[in-house]
Structures are given as structure tokens and as C-alpha cells.
Amino acid sequence: MSVVSLRGATRYYETKAGIVRALDGVTFDIDRGDFMVVAGPSGSGKTTLVNLIGALDKPTSGVVSIDGRSLADLDGKALADLRRDRIGFVFQAYNLVPVLTAIENVEYVMLLQGVPAAERRSRAAEMLGEVGLGDLLDRRPDALSGGQQQRVAVARALVARPALVLADEPTANLDSAASEALMDLMATLNERHRTTFVFCTHDPALMARARRLMRLRDGRVESDERIAR
Amino acid sequence: MSGLVGMALRNLGRRRLRTALTGSMIAGGTALAVLSLGMNFGTYDHMIDLATRSSVGHLEATRAGYDRKPRLNKTLVDPAAAEATLRAQPAVQAVSPRVEAGGLFAKDARTIGGLLVGVDPVTEGSVTSVPRSLGEGAWLPTARGVDDPIPAVFDAGLLHQLRAAVGDEVSFVGQAADGSLAAELFTVCGVTKLKDGAMAYVRLADARDLLVLPGRVHRLVARVDSLRHVDEVVLGARPAEGDVVQGWDALLPGLARSIEADRASGWIFLAIVLMVVLLGVANTLLMAVFERTHEFGVLMALGTRPRQIVLLTLAEAGWLAVLAATVGGIAGTAATAWVGVEGIPLGDMTIEYGGVTIDRMIAVNSMLGSVGVPAVVAMCALLAAAVPAWRAARLHPTEALRA
Ligand SMILES: Nc1ncnc2c1ncn2[C@@H]1O[C@H](COP(=O)(O)OP(=O)(O)O)[C@@H](O)[C@H]1O
Ligand SMILES: [Mg+2]
């Protein structure tokens, strides 16, 4: 079964200038283990799409379901729980919680899940080891480089073993070496844990890593192809 | 990190200056409220103390109705029973009997109306401060020879009107309990400081002889260990049928009313402090929520429930409120204790209040002040955090992330 399915998913924004069709009738499935890049120019609707897939927003019309459950049927608490238990986010701007150390940031989702403290800590430490930050556990975000912060963010997104990891322009703030390293890391994690990854980007270097490449234009799917590597 | 509550504490440290300002506002307001309440209570106690010491005592046993309509024959039905029931209560420290009668005092051509009060020269000092606060002369002697002149202590006011002084003879004319004429010559042995007083104190035995009231008592005046126990003693006393025991508030209704009115104004001050705290906390947290909108978006994306966002925000206010109110409570209690011990002399600015002259500010600590006020302030601060917390929880995740 697919992890996420979209059927005619549409998201309009009402603005003073009129209605913006950010996403306009999109239909596709995301399958377990996909390593998928959603590409498209700025304003093509990538972030809008990720917000729907990530249960942060609901479609204006059409159906978006995660694990077979339509978002339209879920209230704020149920959506929060769905995000907590099934989805990991990696943001462009890292978005670590500034008052928490690296390991506490990684522990946060497990804290919400009610995982006991000792288990939380050992799993978070292990995950930070996996992303190569095993010796920076107790650093606050402001004492880490951009690349290091993004690795913490990846560890945070993955530690609770989500079905789906969503990354909206994760390399936009990184130099090319750090971008490459981050993509290597995520590709490895995808293979090792069969975690499903969806990236949004307009960075060709990132597109080149995709094993499924979907192009968006003006809120519509322009192409969707699987690439054997 | 011990969960969201621990995270909230760290959030407080992000804007140190703002936290410090709001915190000192809460702490300062709390301290002021505690101190002002303590000064109010202290002043009331001081006033009651002055009033009761100078005449009525903390409580009195009399014949029912004597207080409103004194009559020479309305003596206690059973003075021994009244004294026993008062002394039976551990809070009662001293009891002293009195008889009294209105009459005319005269010296040379001057005649002035006044109240003759017969007191026990020994025990009077333990229920009122009259024997200890004389302006001139000496208190009544314990015993007197049969042919010695009859000593009397006069209020300064009465003595002045008579143009008399210590050592002079003043005559008294009144009625005795048996209907006969009570006439006597007193020798002034001492003067009180009461410039508007109209009483003359003589030995209980002399007064009883003169007024023909053998063994009888108009008032049994009592002193208790603390004003807080007055009501308890009044309720616990079981005098004989026809006799009553009343507290100072019933004996001095004017003073009691003034204090009640002043208490109300004390609550207004507390209400103002609470308003300031409410606005300060609400403002601080609204600013924090506004600044951290994007961060709330991230927390929501990670799966934080709306209720947990509320908890995080309320906990931040809770830490601030509890810490600041505790500091304020301790500071206010310390300040109250300091004022209480030293007292603040008012100098020439004495205050005439409910028939009592206050010359010092006195403060007393109470559970209500030291614990109640900080608790109410902290609760109020939490209440103020409700609006920002609610706003934070209602943020839409995608809109918060765009901020
Ligand atoms: N909250 C919003 N309100 C109004 N318009 C929006 C909002 N979010 C996105 N848009 C508009 O929708 C379109 C798609 O935006 P977005 O999904 O952010 O594209 P991308 O991530 O590909 O740059 C753009 O025209 C953008 O201006
Ligand atoms: Mg975008």
C-alpha cells in the first residue's frame, strides 16, 4: 500500500489579489521506500504540496490520505499525532529549537511520544552518531555550523522511525560539499531503513540524486518518472 | 530537559532583560501588596490596642444591656461566675472588675459632670494601660488607712476644667445604689494624659462604699493574649443568665466600622497590583508568542499537540509567576517584619482615626499576606498567560512556519 495518496488534491489560497491556485488537481501515490524529488521553479507549489503530504495543511478539495486516512477527517490533535508518529520534517532553515541541545532536539519527538528518558537518550545518541555528530551531543544549535545543524535536523526527523521524511529545499542554505554529504547521508538512510524520502528542490545537483523525479509547474504535475540507479 | 515544563523555563532565559523586567514587576508588586496588607493589619492592631488599653479592654462582661443603658443597679448577676468563665479560657491573661457612676465633680465654684470609676488598683494595670501612662502624680495605692484622704486619679481633661492639680481636693456628688446621696471628697493623686477624658478613677473598695455596691461589679474587663482570640473567648464564655460577654468591636462600634471600611481600601490596592501583573505577564507572553511564531510552527510540524503548545506557554508564565511571586512574597514579608519591629514613627503627623490617635506605623505578617497574596498574584499571572497561550495554540502550522 502507498504511504501517501493524493486524488485531485487542490489547494487554493484566498488573497487580496484574488484566488491563488497553488496546487491544482494533483493525483499520485508515494510508495514505501521512494527516494523522490519534487522539482519545479519557485512558486510552482512545492511547499504547498509538502504541507499537504506532511499533514500540516488540508486540501481545499480533492483527497489527501496518509496511511489510508483522509486528512479531511482529522482534527488538530489527530493531525499532530499523525505528524509525530508517521512523518519527519527537514526544513530549509534547519529550524532546530534554540533552547535545546543537539541531543535534546533529537529527543523531542520521542518526548512527545512518551518514550522513557533513558531510551530516548540512547536512541538519540545513536542517531546522532549515525549522522556523524556523536561528539557534539550537548551543543546548542548556535554553536553548530549550518551543515551540522542540518544533520541534527535529519537525525531529529529520522529518530522516531517515521514512514515518511519530508525535506523542503534541505540543501538551499548549504554549500555544495555539505549538500553532497547530506544527500549521501539521506540516501544511505533510505537504503538502510527503507525510509521513504520526499525532497523539494530546484537544485539540479539534488535532482540528479533522485530515484523518482516529479516536476511541478503552476500547481500541476508536469512529469513523474522513475529513474533506475 | 525535563519535558515541556523544563523547556519553558529555558525559554524564559531567552529574553533576559524582558524576563527580568516582568519578573521584578511581579516581585515588586507582590512585595508592596504584602507590605501594605501587613501595615494595614498592623495599624488596625495598633489602633485596637490603643483603644482597648485606654479604657475598654479587649472584652468585657456586663449585665445584658448595660453597655447601651448604664444604670447603677445593673450590675453583673453573678460576677464570680463571669470571672470564672473568662479565666477558664487559656487565651485570657487578666481580668479586672469595675464599678462606675456618673456624677458632678466640683472644686471651688466649678462643677463638671464626669464618670467615677472604681477599679482594682492592682489588677487594672493588667487589662488597661491607665496606671502606667499617667501624665503626672502616682497611681492609686493598694491600701489606705481609715482616716487617710480618699485618693483619685483624674483624666487630664476633667482636671483641667476643674482648674485643679495634683494634691488638690475635689468633691463628688452623685446617687448611691440604695437611693441615698453619694457625696465624697477626693484628693487628686495622679492625672492621666487624656486631654478629652472625663473620668476619675478611685479604688474599687472606696467606690463600692460610696455607691453602696458591696461586692458588686458593673464591668469585668479582660485582656487576652492576642486580638485574634477575642472572638473565640467571647463565643466560649458562659456567663450567668442575664450577663453578657462582648468583644472590643461591640464595645467600640465606631472603631470597628472604620477598620472595616479601611480594609476594603486595602483590597483595592491589591486589585491594582493584580491588574499590573496581569497586563505585564500578558504583554510579555504575547511578545514571546509573536516572536516565536515560526518556532511554534516547527514544534507543530514535529507533532506537538495544540494542548502541549498551551502547556508550554502557560508553563513559561508559571515559572516566571511562581519565582517572582515567591521572591516578592519573601521580600514583602521581610519588609513587614522590619517595619513591625522598628515601627515607623509618624512624628508630628499623628493620625486621628476612629477616635484613636496613631503615632507610629506598625506592620504585622499574616498567612494571608505572606502566602495568600503571592499565591493570588501567581494565579493571576497564569490567568494572564491564558490569552497568549490560546493564541499560540490556535496558530495554523503552515502560517506559523511562514512567519
Ligand atoms: N499562505 C499563502 N497565502 C497565499 N498565497 C500563497 C500561500 N502560500 C503559497 N502561496 C502562493 O502559492 C503559490 C505556490 O507557492 P509555494 O507552494 O510556496 O511554491 P514553491 O514552494 O514551489 O515556491 C505561490 O504563488 C505562492 O505565492
Ligand atoms: Mg517553497
Q: Is the pLDDT assigned to residue B2 strictly greater than 70?
A: no
Which residue from B358, B374, B380 is spatially nearest to B39, judged by alpha carbons? B358
Question: Among residues of chain B, what percentage have pLDDT more than 70?
Answer: 98
Predicted confidence at residue B308, as pLDDT, reads 95
pLDDT category of residue B259 using cuts at 50, 70 and 90: confident
Predicted confidence at residue A70, as pLDDT, reads 96
Ligand 1 within 6 A of CB of A170: no
Question: What count of residues does chain A have?
Answer: 229
Q: Is the pLDDT assigned to residue B43 strictly greater than 90?
A: no
A82 chain-B contacts, CB cut-off 8 A: 303
B15 chain-A contacts, CB cut-off 8 A: none
Residue A4 corresponds to which cell in the numbers above? Answer: 501517501
Ligand 1 within 6 A of CB of A47: yes
In Å, how far is A226's CA from the nearest CA of chain B?
29
Report how many Cβ contacts below 8 Å link chain A to chain B.
70
Q: Give which of B15, B302, B395, B402 to mutate to test A binding, by max A Cβ within 10 Å.
A: B302
Query: Per residue in B268-311, pLDDT tens?
Result: 888 888 888 888 888 888 888 899 999 999 999 999 999 999 99
Residue B68: DSSP 8-state: T
Closest-CA residue in chain A for B298? A95
Predicted confidence at residue A86, as pLDDT, reads 95
pLDDT category of residue B313 using cuts at 50, 70 and 90: very high
Closest-CA residue in chain A for B8? A99
- Contact: A54, B299; criterion CB under 8 Å: no
Predicted confidence at residue B355, as pLDDT, reads 56
B305 chain-A contacts, CB cut-off 8 A: 76-77, 80-81, 112
Q: How far apart are CA A193 and CA A158, in angstroms?
A: 10
Query: Per residue in A144-202, pLDDT tens?
Result: 999 899 999 999 999 998 999 999 998 888 888 888 888 888 898 899 888 999 999 98
- Contact: B397, A56; criterion CB under 8 Å: yes
In Å, how far is B316's CA from the nearest CA of chain A?
13
Looking at the partner chain, which of B1, B298, B304 has a beta carbon nearest the beta carbon of A80?
B304
Q: What is the mean pLDDT of residues B172-179?
A: 93
Query: Per residue in B233-247, pLDDT tens?
Result: 999 888 899 999 999
Q: Is the pLDDT assigned to residue A27 strictly greater than 90?
A: yes
User: For residue B278, what is the enclosing H or E element?
Assistant: helix B253-291
Chain centre to alpha carbon of residue B325: 25
Residue B205 near chain A (CB below 8 Å): no
Predicted confidence at residue B356, as pLDDT, reads 63
- Residue A73 to residues A86, A199, B40, B308: CA-CA distances in angstroms? 17, 26, 60, 21
Ligand 1 within 6 A of CB of A44: yes
Instruction: Find out whether A155 and A78 touch, Cβ atoms under 8 Å.
Output: no
Chain centre to alpha carbon of residue B116: 30
Q: Is B229 helix (H, G, I), strand (E, B) or coil?
A: helix
In Å, how far is A65's CA from the nearest CA of chain B?
17
Predicted confidence at residue A189, as pLDDT, reads 85
B396 chain-A contacts, CB cut-off 8 A: 57
3-state secondary structure B192-204: ECCCCCCEEEEEH
> Would you tell me which residues 284-303 of chain B have a C-beta closer than 8 angstroms to some C-beta of chain A?
294-295, 298-303
Among positive and negative, which fits the CA dihedral B345, B348, B353, B355? positive
Strand B92-107 versus strand B219-224 pairing type? antiparallel
Q: Is the pLDDT assigned to residue B350 strictly greater than 80?
A: no
Strand B150-154 versus strand B199-203 pairing type? antiparallel
Instruction: Find out whether B307 and B10 touch, Cβ atoms under 8 Å.
Output: no
Mean pLDDT computed over every residue of chain B: 90
Residue A25: DSSP 8-state: E
In Å, how far is B370's CA from the nearest CA of chain A?
34
- Torsional class of A8: left (φ above 0), alpha (ψ -120 to 50), beta (otherwise): left
A83 chain-B contacts, CB cut-off 8 A: 300-303
Q: What is the mean pLDDT of residues B204-221?
A: 95
Q: Is the pLDDT assigned to residue B71 strictly greater than 60?
A: yes
Among positive and negative, which fits the CA dihedral A60, A66, A72, A75? negative
The lowest-confidence range among B50-64, B114-128, B287-301 is: B50-64
Q: Is the pLDDT assigned to residue B132 strictly greater than 60?
A: yes
- Residue A143 to residues A36, A96, A170, B299, B368: CA-CA distances in angstroms? 32, 12, 20, 21, 48
The lowest-confidence range among A15-24, A25-34, B258-267, B366-375 is: B258-267
CA of residue A13 to ligand 2 center, whole Å? 15
Q: Is the pLDDT assigned to residue A113 strictly greater than 90?
A: yes
In Å, how far is B288's CA from the nearest CA of chain A?
14
Q: Give which of A56, A96, A103 to mutate to test B binding, by max B Cβ within 10 Å.
A: A56
CA of residue A43 to ligand 1 center, whole Å? 6
Q: How far apart are CA B41 and CA B46, in angstroms?
A: 8
For chain B, the structural domain boundaries read: 2-52+256-402, 97-220
Q: How far apart are CA A102 and CA A86, in angstroms?
A: 22
In Å, how far is A165's CA from the nearest CA of chain B?
11
CA of residue A201 to ligand 2 center, whole Å? 8
CA of residue A164 to ligand 2 center, whole Å? 18
Ligand 1 within 6 A of CB of A92: no
Q: Is the pLDDT assigned to residue B205 strictly greater than 90?
A: yes
B301 chain-A contacts, CB cut-off 8 A: 54, 56, 83, 89, 91
Instruction: Find out whether A35 and A211 touch, Cβ atoms under 8 Å.
Output: yes
Looking at the partner chain, which of B14, B304, B398 has a beta carbon nearest the beta carbon of A51?
B398
- Contact: B1, A104; criterion CB under 8 Å: yes
DSSP string for A73-132: G--HHHHHHHHHHHEEEE-TT----TTS-HHHHHHHHHHHHT--HHHHHHHHHHHHHHTT
Amino acid at B122: V
Predicted confidence at residue B352, as pLDDT, reads 66
Of residues B169 and B359, the one with the higher pLDDT is: B169
Closest-CA residue in chain B for A58? B398
Pocket test for ligand 1, best of A11, A19, A20, A198 (most atoms within 8 A of CB): A20
Ligand 1 within 6 A of CB of A13: yes
- Residue A194 to residues A127, A163, B90: CA-CA distances in angstroms? 16, 9, 82
Closest-CA residue in chain A for B11? A99
Ligand 1 within 6 A of CB of A19: no
Predicted confidence at residue B129, as pLDDT, reads 86
Predicted confidence at residue B294, as pLDDT, reads 93
Ligand 1 within 6 A of CB of A20: yes
Instruction: Find out whether A217 and A38 touch, Cβ atoms under 8 Å.
Output: no
Predicted confidence at residue B49, as pLDDT, reads 81
Closest-CA residue in chain B for A166? B301
Atom of ligand 1 nearest to the CA of A51: 17
Q: What is the mean pLDDT of residues B220-243?
A: 90
